[in-house]
């Protein structure tokens, strides 16, 4: 009935960072577009005392606003979860809702140990991620071509089509060593891939972008330059797509996709095995 | 009873990337350490036909293995979720489990629209993230000091203590413009912060690390160098911590923490408002 969004407070409570719970809550709450949610993330709740303090905060919020806040929790410890659940709120227990179901399916009790899901800074998987980030940084924008044989994937595309953030995301999220290499007018004149890349054809993946969007992005960096002009962008994109088609390189358009979506599609397409998972 | 881990197949099915569902499933399943889970992520399931194909795959897996796989789903469309749920599996419906509860709390029906949670490549929030990544890259390792006034946070610490991956994570996950600046022996001799940083004291946050761990990390990069020696690392860390104490800079140790944990603690400590959320 009303056109201005209705405000609701959302608490995200976790014994760890709360990042997963917050991402999940954003995703579910996006289905209620008529509301404007004010999220309060409360991480590292790992004692009964801290849980009690959060419950007090939730109760105070409920009283002040005259309505129950939504509370997403990934607390593993059932005592702490119970304390939060007893507060004046709509309690959404992400961990508890599934762990019993899984216990039944597997025929065992869960360890219910706080901190188990945090690999910390010393695990193999963590070291792989850091190594991949360093690799992707060193091999950003073709600046360093030694070691390309170690790359899991090499992204190519015109300047500012999304190669750098995608490479970094692949490294950070998936421990994938992602190099990236720009396609520039010299490549289009020659009509072939840069010679440096020729031995690695199988791991090359292309990114493209709509010329109008590319022009927007480039204009932010170098306003009113030839580099940012729609004509130049149109030419470069057309040439890059022609080159990728000729060389048989798979590619996708980044225009309306997030880094997460682009990265997921690349992993699928290149058939990269997920590591350490 | 048996000491070798029991294998179980886990499907993660999503109409989007499945990244949230997969992170969540890893976290919950880490509570069942006696099992070894083989995760199969199946993203972009956005038609009835695709959902039916996934159900067939799940049924085949159940038959071949003689046991029901676990299936985590974030499918928004109830028809698609129903198709997967009817397969021979333990169905864990992350979306369905909470959406009804939230509908009751808010007194409205959800839009149940697929794709709503994906902001795509054009939203304000997405642009802020990309801008932050570019900023953090340009201001990595003190390489570019212009524009530090735009930084949300400036990380300082000795070489290889974790500044770069943390800066990039803050940018990518939280759209936080995180610069980083190394503390080097010259700073310790002078006994003050680099002059460049003096105007921005309030947004400076320090990272430290145990000298043994630092020596390990540096040895991977430059084996058997003075730079990587335990003595050198011990000296640099002690001096950096002394400097940070004297200058009143808040800091934390990265030794046993993941990038996610470090970043969350920094956000908490610096009191950075979460943007666009």
The count of CB pairs under 8 A between chains A and B is 203
- Residue numbers in B near A165 (CB within 8 A): 129-130, 133, 172
DSSP state of B24: H
Q: Give the model's pLDDT for residue A274.
A: 47
Domains plus CATH for chain A?
A: 6-106 (3.40.50), 124-270 (3.40.50)
Answer with the residue of higher pLDDT: B82 or A120.
B82
Q: What is the pLDDT of residues B101-126, one digit of tens each?
A: 999 999 998 887 665 554 444 678 78
ipTM, interface predicted TM-score of the complex: 0.85
Q: Give the model's pLDDT for residue B275.
A: 36
Mean pLDDT of A63-71: 95
Flag whether A248 is marked binding: no
Whether residue A276 has pLDDT greater than 50: no
Tell me the shortest Cα–Cα distance from A170 to chain B, in angstroms: 12
Q: What is the pLDDT of residues B24-82, one digit of tens each?
A: 999 899 899 889 999 999 999 999 999 999 999 999 999 999 999 999 999 999 999 99
Cross-chain residue pair B268–A43, CB shorter than 8 Å: yes
Query: What are the structure tokens assigned to B203, written together?
Result: 């947004």
- Residue numbers in A near B129 (CB within 8 A): 165, 259
Residues 6+ apart with CB under 8 A from A224: none
Are B255 and B213 contacting, i.e. CB atoms less than 8 angstroms apart?
Answer: yes
Average pLDDT of chain B? Answer: 90
Answer with the residue of higher pLDDT: B166 or B111.
B166
Tell me the shortest Cα–Cα distance from B182 to chain A, in angstroms: 16
DSSP state of B200: G
pLDDT above 70 as % of chain B: 93
**Residue among B106, B165, B264 whose CB faces A19 most closely:** B264
Mean pLDDT of B136-161: 93
Rounded to the nearest angstrom, the gap between the alpha carbon of residue B111 and the centroid of all alpha carbons in its chain is 29
Whether residue A277 has pLDDT greater than 50: no
- In terms of CA atoms, which chain A residue is nearest residue B33? A111
Mean pLDDT of B74-100: 95
Q: Give the model's pLDDT for residue B276.
A: 30
Cross-chain residue pair B277–A126, CB shorter than 8 Å: no
Best probe of the B interface among A1, A21, A119, A264, by most B CBs < 10 A, is: A264
Flag whether B158 is marked binding: yes
Q: What is the pLDDT of residues A69-96, one digit of tens each?
A: 999 999 999 999 999 999 999 999 999 9
**Residue among B105, B140, B274 whose CB faces A90 most closely:** B105
Tell me the shortest Cα–Cα distance from A98 to chain B, in angstroms: 7
How would you list the strands of the sheet with B251-253, edge to edge?
B178-182, B153-157, B204-208, B251-253
């Amino acid at each position: 009935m009303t056109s201005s969004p209705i405000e609701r407070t959302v608490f995200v409570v976790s014994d760890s960072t709360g990042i997963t719970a917050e991402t999940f809550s954003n995703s579910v709450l996006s289905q209620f577009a008529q509301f404007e949610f004010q999220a309060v993330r409360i991480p590292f709740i790992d004692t009964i005392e801290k849980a009690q303090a959060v419950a007090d905060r939730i109760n105070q919020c409920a009283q002040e606003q005259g309505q129950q806040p939504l509370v997403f929790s990934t607390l593993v410890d059932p005592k702490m979860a119970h304390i939060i659940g007893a507060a004046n709120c709509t309690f959404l227990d992400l961990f508890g809702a599934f762990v019993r179901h899984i216990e039944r399916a597997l025929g065992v009790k869960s360890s219910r140990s706080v901190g188990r899901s945090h690999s910390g800074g010393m695990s193999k998987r963590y070291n792989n991620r850091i190594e991949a980030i360093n690799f992707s940084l060193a091999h950003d924008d073709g600046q360093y071509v030694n070691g390309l044989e170690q790359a899991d994937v090499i992204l190519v595309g015109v300047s500012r089509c999304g190669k750098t953030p995608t490479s970094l995301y692949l490294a950070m999220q998936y421990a994938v060593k992602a190099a990236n290499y720009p396609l520039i007018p010299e490549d289009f004149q020659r009509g072939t891939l840069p010679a440096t890349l020729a031995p690695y054809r199988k791991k090359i993946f292309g990114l493209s972008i709509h010329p109008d969007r590319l022009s927007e992005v480039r204009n932010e960096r170098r306003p009113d330059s030839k580099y940012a002009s729609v004509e130049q962008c149109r030419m470069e994109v057309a040439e890059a797509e022609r080159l990728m088609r000729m060389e048989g390189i798979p590619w996708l358009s980044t225009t309306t996709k997030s880094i997460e979506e682009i990265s997921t599609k690349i992993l699928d397409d290149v058939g990269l095995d997920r590591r350490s998972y």
